[in-house]
Chain A
Amino acid sequence: MVENRPFLTFLTHAFLILGFLVVALPVYVAITASTHDISTLMSGPVPLLPGSHFIENYSTILTSASAAHGLPNYSHMALNSLVMALVITAGKIAISILSAFAIVYFRFPFRQLAFWIIFVTLMLPVEVRIMPTYKIVADLGMLNSWAGLTVPLIASATATFLFRQFFMTVPDELLEAARVDGAGPLKFFRDILLPLSRTNIGALCVILFIYGWVQYLWPLLVTTDPGYYTLMMGMKRMVTVQDGVIEWHLVMAGSVLAMLPPILVVVFMQRLFIRGLTETEK
């Protein structure tokens, strides 16, 4: 602090607390709404204090399948979301670290081309090639399968670039020493590069877990079998009611459950999260 201005400091605190309250408002309202029954919610604006239906609403959503929407129960969908997020995280890290290793530590024909092919994925998000990608997955018989849900999302230019950048900073002497000692490329990778990359892998895990958890468009395209629905699909199905009322008390309980895991990851692994965010993007 350059100078001491108590009043300005007070204002700064006030601004941040007010800002936090505004930012947290929708989540607070979701939590309170998830503790009321539907008739309370429908009879006017949402009460600002929690109600008495907490256990009832959450146990309904976690255990009973919502037949009206053809949905499995939330525990099943949460498990699907978890599997999807974990497979995508592990897959992206595995194939990216291997490609970065190949690009940095080997000289071979078409190396430049391989690099550009990986780079191009940045310019082709699923959103811009919805139909043809759907068609490929359908032709390969991968609709409604774990492979279809995860494999097409596993290619990652950003993770590859992050590892490449990191490998470039690893001293050359390590490689020379390893070679003098007779270590081959795979042994060097396993015993030296992999342990050195631990922090980067951790940071990527946090970012990619969130990436996998919040996937929406892709599961929407490739899964029609409710057995494969993730929490995000559940949200969508519960709010698209043709006629009749949206069961807001259950939708809000579902929202709280769907956002809790990634929020906990961010809050408790904040250092890794910030590192991952600022180093992977771009």
Chain B
Amino acid sequence: MDTKRTTFNNRLLPYLLLAPQLAITLVFFIWPAAQAVKSSFEREDPFGFSTVFVGFTHYQRLLADPNYLDSLWRTAVFAVSVTVLAMVLGLAFAAAVDRLARSAKFYTTLLVWPYAVAPVVAGVLWWFLFNTSTGLLPYFLERFGIRWDHDLNGTHAMILIIIAAAWKQISYNFLFFLAGLQSVPQSLIEAAAIDGSGPVKRFFTISLPLLSPTTFFLFIINVNYTMFDTFPIVDATTGGGPAQATTTLVYKVYQDGYVGLNLGSSSAQSVLLMLIVMLLTFVQFRFVERRVQY
């Protein structure tokens, strides 16, 4: 890792400058993470007086627990659905805005603000729209013969949180895709146009392939977002139900640990989640180009 060609040569100062950041990181990030790893290998007696080392027991139990595997599967479905939905819509909006030179800024303003809506608010808004007794959407769905009930129907509850989570993320994907599209060299587009390919063909044969670094980067970021930042949506609306249908991995850590006080299992789940984030972060930094490059 590089520094400047010339540097200052104080001995103490750099440590003082780093001290606040490092102190907070050690106390509130690394120490708790280490504790999680430690207590995932231990069992505490009910009164908290003594702990016994139990090896991989918690992990073995977890991976044999149908509830946990179920939650893992649901999280995967949730993450992929949100990612695909939010990316496809973000790309469609970006492609449309990219076509319009003059009103691009106007439409960008119309489309970016959902990013600023808190996840819990986004969840509550969609929950209200889909509310069985007062909501607008069940009223219309009824006409198509669909009886919407996310309080009883697990699939409906899952669709609800997918829509709420994707809605918030569209603007993010839109902005990155738009930046990517705007850096596609104009000469390539013009050359293709002269050769007689229309806008749709140009989009699929030139712009889309050139966007692949952006697409891959966004895929990782979206999966990360859906797995970890959507806790408020689940917590304030479905509460993980009905019958665990929307219990994501993060929500389960919270329920088993903070609500259920099952420390060993919750810690083991935390450690598994850390491994997932590490994998995602590794992929992001190792394989993803930081900028859109051609």
Interface residues of A (CB under 8 A from B): 1-3, 5, 8-9, 12-13, 15-16, 19-20, 23, 25-27, 29-30, 33, 41-42, 44-46, 48, 94-96, 98-99, 101-108, 111-112, 114-115, 117-118, 120-125, 127-137, 151-152, 154-156, 160, 168, 172, 175-176, 179, 184-186, 188, 210, 213-214, 216-217, 220-221, 232, 235-236, 239-240, 248, 251-252, 255, 258-259, 262-263, 265-267, 270, 273-274, 277-278, 281-282
Contact = CB atoms under 8 A, between A and B. Distances in A.
Given A131-B263, A172-B6, A2 B189 contact: yes
Among B113, B122, B254, the most chain A Cβ lie within 10 Å of the Cβ of: B113
Given A2-B189, A12-B99, A20-B111, A154 B24 contact: yes
Contacts of A123: 274, 277-278, 281
Among B14, B176, B274, the most chain A Cβ lie within 10 Å of the Cβ of: B14
Given A48-B136, A123-B277, A128-B250, 20 more contacts: A1-B101, A16-B96, A19-B93, A45-B134, A98-B18, A99-B21, A108-B15, A112-B1, A120-B25, A128-B253, A133-B32, A152-B28, A168-B4, A172-B5, A210-B115, A240-B239, A248-B128, A248-B131, A278-B179, A281-B221
Interface in B113-144: 113-122, 124-129, 131, 133-136, 138-139
Contacts of A2: 189-190, 193, 199
B219 interface: no
B172 interface: yes
B7 interface: yes
A239 to B, nearest CB: 6
A130 B266 contact: yes
A77 B200 CA distance: 50
Given A122-B281, A263-B113, A266-B112, A130 B118 contact: no
A102 B108 CA distance: 38
Interface in B39-71: 39
A265 B263 contact: no
14 contacts: A2-B189, A8-B199, A12-B96, A16-B111, A128-B228, A130-B257, A132-B267, A134-B258, A135-B35, A154-B24, A185-B10, A259-B121, A266-B116, A278-B175
A20 B110 contact: yes
A115 B131 CA distance: 48
Interface residues of B, number: 107
B236 A236 contact: yes
Contact of B134 (A13, A46, A175, A188): A46
Contact of A136 (B31, B116, B258): B31
B13 A26 contact: no
B17 A248 contact: no
B58 to A, nearest CB: 13
Among B139, B189, B231, the most chain A Cβ lie within 10 Å of the Cβ of: B231
B22 interface: yes
B232 to A, nearest CB: 4
A96 B136 CA distance: 46
B149 interface: no
A217 B232 contact: yes
Nearest to B189: A2
Contacts of A9: 99-100
A270 B109 contact: yes
A104 B232 CA distance: 37
A168 B39 contact: no
Contacts of B100: 9, 12-13, 16
A87 B113 CA distance: 23
Interface string B125-168: 11111010111101100000000000000000000000000010
B223 interface: no
Among B107, B221, B239, B284, the most chain A Cβ lie within 10 Å of the Cβ of: B107
B243 interface: no
Among A9, A15, A129, A152, the most chain B Cβ lie within 10 Å of the Cβ of: A129
A229 to B, nearest CB: 13
B29 interface: yes
A23 to B, nearest CB: 6
A188 B109 CA distance: 38
Contact of B8 (A12, A172, A185): A185
B270 interface: yes
